[in-house]
Amino acid sequence: MTDAGTQQGLFNVWVHVNSASTGVDAGNQTAADGSYTVTGLAAGTDYQVCFYADGATGGSSDATGYVNQCYDNQLDWGTPTPVTVTVGATRAGTNAALVGNP
C-alpha cells in the first residue's frame, strides 16, 4: 500500500477481504512499509479486496487522509475487481496507490 504521489508505504491502512461464495470476511492492517498479509482464506474466485485509509500514516497526505478504494483502482462503493485465491499459494500484487483527500 503506497501513497500515490510519493510512493511511500502507508501504515495502518485497513485491508478488508470478503467473498460471497465462501462466506469469508477477514482483514488486517498494513505494516509501516505498506505491506500486509491476510491468511486462512478458502479457495475462491470472487474475493473483493478494499483498502480503508482513515487512520493511515506515512505518506504526504497525513493531514488530510486518503481516498478509500478497492483493488485495481475501483471505487469502494462500486463493484470491485474480483480476486482469485488458491489454497496454499501466496498472491502478490493485490495493492493500491492511494490518493490524498481533496
Q: What is the CATH number of the domain that holds 16?
A: 2.60.40
Are 2 and 9 in contact, with CB atoms under 8 Å apart?
A: yes
CA pair distance 16, 18, nearest whole angstrom: 7
| pLDDT higher than threshold 70 for residue 1 | yes
Assigned C-alpha cell, 83: 480476486
Q: Which range scores top for mean pLDDT: 43-47, 65-69, 73-77, 78-82?
A: 43-47
CA pair distance 29, 57, nearest whole angstrom: 12
Q: Residue 76's pLDDT band (boundaries 50, 70, 90)?
A: confident
pLDDT on residue 79: 86
State the total domains in the chain. 1
Which residues does 90 contact at the CB level (< 8 Å), separation at least 6? none
Main-chain dihedrals φ then ψ at residue 32, nearest 5 degrees: -60, -30
74 sits in the region (left: phi over 0; alpha: psi -120 to 50; else beta) called: beta
- In this prediction, residues 13-27 reach a mean pLDDT of 96
| pLDDT higher than threshold 70 for residue 102 | yes
Residue 7 belongs to domain spanning:
1-102
Whole-model pTM? Answer: 0.91
